[in-house]
Structure 1
Amino acid sequence: MTTWMPQAPAPERVPAGASAEGDGIVIGAGPVTIDTYIDFLCPFCKQFEETAGPTLDRLVAEGLTTIVFHPMTFLDRLSTDHYSSRASSSSGCAADGGRFRDYGRALFARQPPEGGPGLTDETLVEIGRSVGLGEPSFARCVLGRAYLAWSAYVTFMAGRRGVGATPTVTVDGMSVPANPRAILTAVATVAG
């Protein structure tokens, strides 16, 4: 018996550094793959970045891991202006400029509260400037919301993989708690 599943709404355009599936931004080239599913409006994702971010960066710098960041639009319902989608889209613009990690950290540092409006598109551009994204092409990308379709696709694909909350972390496909110790243990186990 064949079960019909809807096809993913594949976007026409994906950011630089996108994964082979097109649903995340790849950082590093190590043998162990860590997938992180985040939402820039999620307070727990901000906490995850603050506590685990340095560990993730170290694992990449040491050549141990490849990290795929999946910036989801999961929490649009907790924003009056679709902030999760707009922030995810702008992170794609930052990836085009080679500054995805710096920009993501800056977005979490300026995270608005849930339940109201998010940061304006102009503020998203300003944040980009603060991390070295001063090119007019970055501003055009953010203001034009160039990666909204990609952001929806990232979220769609995460849902197909059973991701129902942020942050969610997997190490070589195995779900692990979103904390540095669990991630390090899983990476060590996979690496042998």
Structure 2
Amino acid sequence: MASKDREHIRKLREEANALRLKEEARKRRNRMFTQIGIVVGAIVVIGAIVLLVVMGPKWFGNQQVPESSGTVAITNSEGQEVEVPIAASNDGIVVGLEDAPVTVDYYFDFSCPHCQDYHEVLGGDIEQVIADGSAKVNFHMIRFVSEYGLVAGAATAAVVEYQPELFFTVMDGLFAIPAETQATMSYGDYATQVAALGVTSQEALQAIENGDFSWWMSDRTNQARTDGVQGTPSLFIDGEYQETLPTSGDELRAVIAAASGEAAPAPAETEPAETEPAESAATEETPAE
């Protein structure tokens, strides 16, 4: 009888132990699933935050795009002032005749010191080839270097939207401001600056203060990177990237002429200076006495 009781107790203990082990295994599985759920949930939350940071301005920001047209006065190579069309769109600011034989895509950054130097050297020549009808230029304002490049570009876009005839005036004026000054300028400071350059449109000044075209500048910068633009300044002539930038007006005209199939303009000839016949270096010998 005692033997049977001990066997019964042993079986009960084994069954209880099996139930305990089964319960512990169930709890371990639940803890594992809970931990996996927490990790997955954290990854989803972090991913959502990153997505909002990256895409939030594009989805929810002020996605205003300049859409204007008009004319702007520039000087041709003969010194005559001419009016040419200017039109702003999502793709950039195009200046020049619609039927111009060559299209130049010019990428620049107001905060890029090389762009500032390039504008100083070739800005006038770029305007001349437009005024001469040799090419139309699509100006792509982007920001690769410093944040103020975006703010200056957004301010310029606002001017083009409401007073497109002042595009070159504002472009020249902003490039003339030292980098250390622009680095501390706010949107309001840019509004004050362009007003001093002649902008009178209250809509333009308000758009600058509001940063209405900041999203557009960011979007154009991202698109430039997607299109393979690796630095500024960059030029594309009829879609062909210029690995070597023209560094003079003559070089720029030669590249544009080549793209249009015309002969490059010949450099001005200079007449050789007249020279006196060289005197003989030999001296006449004196006969010995």
Distance 1:86 1:103 in 2: 13
2:121 aligned with 1:51: yes
Residue equivalent to 1:23: 91
Query: Is the Cα–Cα contact under 8 Å of residues 103 and 128 in structure 1 kept in the other structure?
Result: yes
Query: Is the Cα–Cα contact under 8 Å of residues 41 and 113 in structure 1 kept in the other structure?
Result: no
Give the length in aligned residue pairs.
177
Specify the code of the residue in structure 2 equivalent to 1:13. Q
- What TM-score, normalized to structure 1? 0.84
Residue equivalent to 2:159: 94
What are the superposed Cα offsets for residues 130-167 of structure 1, whole Å, 9 maximum, x if unpaired? 33212211110100000011101111111111111110
Stretches of structure 2 lacking an aligned partner (at least 5 in a row):
1-57, 69-86, 262-289
Greater helix share, 1 or 2?
Answer: 2
Q: Computing the radius of gyration over CA atoms, which structure comes out larger, 1 or 2? A: 2
Residue equivalent to 1:187: 256
Residue 179 (structure 1) shift: 2.3
Specify the code of the residue in structure 1 equivalent to 2:260. A
Query: Is the Cα–Cα contact under 8 Å of residues 168 and 178 in structure 1 kept in the other structure?
Result: no
Residue equivalent to 2:138: 68
Distance 1:130 1:58 in 2: 26
List, as ranges, runs of 4+ consecutive aligned residues in structure 1 with deviation greater than 4 Å: none
3-state SS in 2 of match to 1:154:
helix
Using CA pairs under 8 Å that are at least 6 residues apart, name the structure with larger relative contact order, 1 or 2: 1
What does 1:63-142 correspond to in 2, within 5 Å?
63-76=133-146, 82-96=147-161, 97-98=163-164, 99-113=166-180, 117-142=183-208
Stretches of structure 1 lacking an aligned partner (at least 5 in a row):
1-8, 77-81
Residue equivalent to 2:18: none
Query: Is the Cα–Cα contact under 8 Å of residues 152 and 190 in structure 2 kept in the other structure?
Result: yes
Compute the RMSD of aligned alpha carbons.
2.2
Query: In the superposition, relative to structure 1, how do residues 170 and 149 fare at CA in structure 2: closer, same or farther (>3 Å)?
Result: same
Distance 2:258 2:226 in 1: 26
Residue equivalent to 1:166: 232
3-state SS in 2 of match to 1:119:
coil
Query: Is the Cα–Cα contact under 8 Å of residues 63 and 213 in structure 2 kept in the other structure?
Result: no
Determine which of 145, 165, 168 is the counterpart of 2:211: 145
Percent identity, aligned pairs only? 25
